[in-house]
Amino acid sequence: MAIYKAQPGSKVLGYSIIITLEALNLYKEVGVQLLAQAWIKNLEKDEWYDMQAYCDFLGAVKEKLGDSTIFMAGRNIGLNADLPPIFDTPAKVLASFDQVFKIGHRDVPPEQGWTYTPTGERSAIMVSSTPYPDELQRGVCDGFVRRFKTGALLVTIDATQPRVDKGGKSVTFKVIW
């Protein structure tokens, strides 16, 4: 199992954990058990929780339920999260990932987050330097872009770059919509 490591003292907003749990759909009860094992109980959307405990929960979900389930959870997050009307294109949503990450996390290293690099009218490179599973993050990208139903959609991991799942500090995605 890959180990997902947060900076000691870093926190994640309860809302992020709640939407992840909800995104597990049929596996929500398993998710509740895994959250308790990670010492996260009595979730409140506006409270801050230990990011390492959340990473441990995500690692346990990946180990117990597999990559396809954690990908679908990420996709469900992207499909169902509230989006302000200003985010009306895939490019605008993807460009906001770093800002949204910084709002939902605190006391994280300044280099941790997302970078967005447009590569064409309907494509981009997304690099995540967060300590979360690769497939969860790929699913989040997929879900947010999928909301726009622009036709072809492809979110792939760039196998030539480091991966969090393999001990790297980042993972790179090629996104085409």
pLDDT at residue 3, as a whole number: 83
pLDDT at 150 (0 to 100): 77
Contacts of 103 (CB under 8 A, 6+ apart): 13
Which pLDDT band holds residue 174 (cuts at 50, 70, 90)? very high
pLDDT of residue 82: 86
Residues 6+ apart with CB under 8 A from 39: 50, 53
Please give the structure tokens belonging to residue 66: 């597999």
Put simply, whether the predicted model's pTM sits higher than 0.75 gets the answer: yes
Share the mean pLDDT of the chain.
94
Query: Residue 171's beta-bridge partner residues?
Result: 128
Instruction: Check pLDDT > 60 for residue 109.
Output: yes
| 102: pLDDT strictly greater than 60 | yes
Pairwise CA distance, residues 42 & 100, whole Å: 24
State the pLDDT at residue 2.
Answer: 52
> How does residue 86 score in pLDDT terms, banded at 50, 70 and 90?
very high
